[in-house]
Structure 1
């Protein structure tokens, strides 16, 4: 493998990390460099010009960073195979729980309670009592709710990483002019309109909420580059 191929693999890993974390590529390059013992990417590049070469272990480290950020890999990946069944259940403050995803919403539940975190990053958590016969339901406690929310939020982060990795780059990180690309229709605009509530949002706002309406949380199917449904009133 040539020197350029080795650096290309590190840059590819950084690009995949940037997709998953929804950050600029330059920030992901710094993540890779620091994992390899350099303070920043420029230091790594200078070392490379002076004869240092990434080892197979260095490349494996960079690839492991990608897997850590996006263990679900893609929409076609079976998470049970990627993560192992033990990752989907556990114990929290003495209470057993399980976790699953349904349409990219994260559902966490145990005896008598359930927590749902919708796909949209701005959507609030939904706590629900599923068995009112219990005299002491853990979901009634603030500490338990917060702890459960921490667990579920970790899972939602993985779901968001998988979504961002499957979408065009500009759908989650707008360009310098604030223009974002619709992940389904692929139109590009700095202002987006919601068919559901008629609200408008900037490209930065809509990308940050994974193309769900920041106002009413409508899905990307309701987000358009112009309010065509308003007809003459939109002009």
Structure 2
């Protein structure tokens, strides 16, 4: 058995820990027991001796972990129906084996107007009659209304009252996006400690103060965790957040190389998960950052979430 499956099992234990509120040790031990080992340490030792788990048991463990994660999440379909009443109906959704608001693509009618919703862990969108409302990943992101190509069939979608209700529906879908992102991060990244320190989900740095590379904003750990590690002021991405404003002094810009346990090393037993989506972020964007002569490249996989590698050139 390669180390890839160990990475897979650790990831599944992490998801179980978040879903059931277990300790790190207990979640690892539970995974080991379900695979026929008395505890995690014995599983690790057996791995060194060449032991391999039954692929069917691993697949069952993956399916159970997904079910536990969904079971502990809010019922977004019920939330949407309660918020919008009889004016909201769902006509179809894909995949069909989940509730409508848990699907990747959703189709329905809102106040008699046909709509669709689609999204991933980076943004969600609600489209209707030639127009689309977009919400980016940060919880504080403001909705963007844009016109799509082609002729607009009706102006009903531009009615302010309808836009308000459609945005309310989209924000409920965005709450699911926020939950999915947070579930892949360490607990300390979404729940600061008693001293207000929060763990950066990409660099694993613990600090009570965080600074934005783009706007010089200063924020505490609670503000960062609430906004999913995007700058609350300018919306800069998590890779732009640092515990010290090194660009304002003589400090040397840090070399960031992160390939921790959230790196997906091998999707050998990952058929139950969705196909990873790859996103690249090339830094820097601002003139201030360009003056630092630094480049950061982020490779983001859907599950597990991140591989971030930074380079600093002299």
Q: TM-score scaled by structure 2?
A: 0.49
Using the alignment, how far apart are the partners of 2:220 and 2:157 within structure 1?
Answer: 37
Using the alignment, how far apart are the partners of 2:69 and 2:140 within structure 1?
Answer: 30
Q: How does 1:133-148 map to 2 (within 5 A)?
A: 133-134=151-152, 136-148=154-166
Say yes or no: does 1:96 pair with 2:102: no
Q: 2:65 — aligned with what?
A: none
CA 1:17–1:63 in 2, change beyond 3 Å: closer, same or farther?
A: same
Report Cα offsets for 1:151-193 as digits up to 9, x if no partner: 1111101111111111011111111111110010010000001
After TM superposition, the runs of 4+ consecutive aligned structure 1 residues lying more than 4 A away are 12-15, 67-71, 84-87
Q: How does 1:6-17 map to 2 (within 5 A)?
A: 15-16=18-19
8 Å Cα contact 1:70/1:162 also seen in 2: no
Q: 2:125 — aligned with what?
A: 107
Q: 1 or 2, which has the higher helix percentage?
A: 1
Using the alignment, how far apart are the partners of 2:156 and 2:20 within structure 1?
Answer: 37
Structure 1 unaligned segments of length 5 or more: list them: 1-11, 20-61, 72-78
Out of 211, 220, 223, which is 2:229 matched to?
211
- SS of residue in 2 equivalent to 1:89: strand
Q: TM-score scaled by structure 1?
A: 0.64
Q: How does 1:1-235 map to 2 (within 5 A)?
A: 15-16=18-19, 65-68=71-74, 80=95, 83=98, 87=103, 88-102=106-120, 104-130=122-148, 133-134=151-152, 136-232=154-250
How many pairs were matched up? 175
CA 1:220–1:189 in 2, change beyond 3 Å: closer, same or farther?
A: same
Q: 1 or 2, which has the higher strand percentage?
A: 2
- SS of residue in 2 equivalent to 1:192: strand
- SS of residue in 1 equivalent to 2:250: helix
Using the alignment, how far apart are the partners of 2:99 and 2:70 within structure 1?
Answer: 17
Give the RMSD, CA atoms, in angstroms.
3.4
Structure 2 unaligned segments of length 5 or more: list them: 1-14, 23-67, 78-93, 253-314
